[in-house]
Amino acid sequence: MEVKRAGDIMIPLDKYPHIPYWFTMRQALAEMEHTEFDIGGRKSLPRVVLIFDEEYNLLGIVRRRDILRGIEPEFLAKLMGGGGKKKLLGKKDDSAGPEKITDSIKKSVERPVSDVMMRLESAVDIDDNIMDVASKIVDNNVSLIPVLKDGEVVGVVRTVELIHEIARAALDE
């Protein structure tokens, strides 16, 4: 069986959601909601949006959990401070009604995505083999890694595609 390279299993940049750092979390959410991949006949949704600067240099990523952290309502954050989570369990909090939560979400998602993005410290080359890719993903504790060709981002490898290729090799499929 031929050893796959990062370029063989990557999702090309033009197919992967990416936005500039000054876009809002609302715009990042829209990218996540409106992007779907068809990888080898299997449907998949992005869990991450890539964040670029003005010169199209990759700055980082914003994950679903980063957005969730970024929209945490201010009143809830204050309530949670000092053991507030335990206080909320099993109790109804009338101060967190549906209108207040909805208003807080709408306000929070207008913040720039750069406020909540995670900087990326590593990338792989388009010709790196899948074990080198796996090593960098594990070492950096990320679920995807940018793929570079001549120093420019050309795509990403996600753990889902990486695991699929490793399973194929391990199971001789």
Locate the DSSP E strands across the chain: 11-12, 18-20, 37-39, 42-44, 48-52, 58-63, 118-119, 124-125, 144-149, 152-158
For the sheet containing 144-149, what is the strand order?
A: 11-12, 152-158, 144-149, 124-125
Task: Give the integer Cα–Cα distance in Å for 91 and 67.
Answer: 26
Mean pLDDT, to the nearest integer, of 15-28? 95
Q: Which residue has the higher pLDDT, 118 or 100?
A: 118
55-110: pLDDT as tens digits: 999 999 999 999 988 887 665 555 555 554 444 444 555 556 778 778 888 888 99
How much is the pLDDT for 18? 95
Q: Which residue has the higher pLDDT, 50 or 68?
A: 50
> Mean pLDDT over all residues of the chain?
85
How much is the pLDDT for 68? 87
Task: Give the integer Cα–Cα distance in Å for 160 and 39.
Answer: 10
How much is the pLDDT for 92? 54
Task: Give the integer Cα–Cα distance in Å for 56 and 33.
Answer: 23
Q: Which amino acid is at 10?
A: M
How much is the pLDDT for 50? 96
Q: Which residue has the higher pLDDT, 1 or 26?
A: 26
Task: Give the integer Cα–Cα distance in Å for 77 and 68.
Answer: 12
Task: Give the integer Cα–Cα distance in Å for 92 and 76.
Answer: 13
How much is the pLDDT for 63? 92
Percent of the chain with pLDDT strictly greater than 90: 58
Where are the domains positioned within the chain?
A: 6-67+111-170, 72-108
User: For domain 6-67+111-170, is the CATH number 3.10.580.10?
Assistant: yes
pLDDT(1) > 70: no
123-140: pLDDT as tens digits: 999 999 999 999 999 999
Q: Residue 94 has what DSSP assignment? A: G
CB 127 within 8 A of CB 150: no
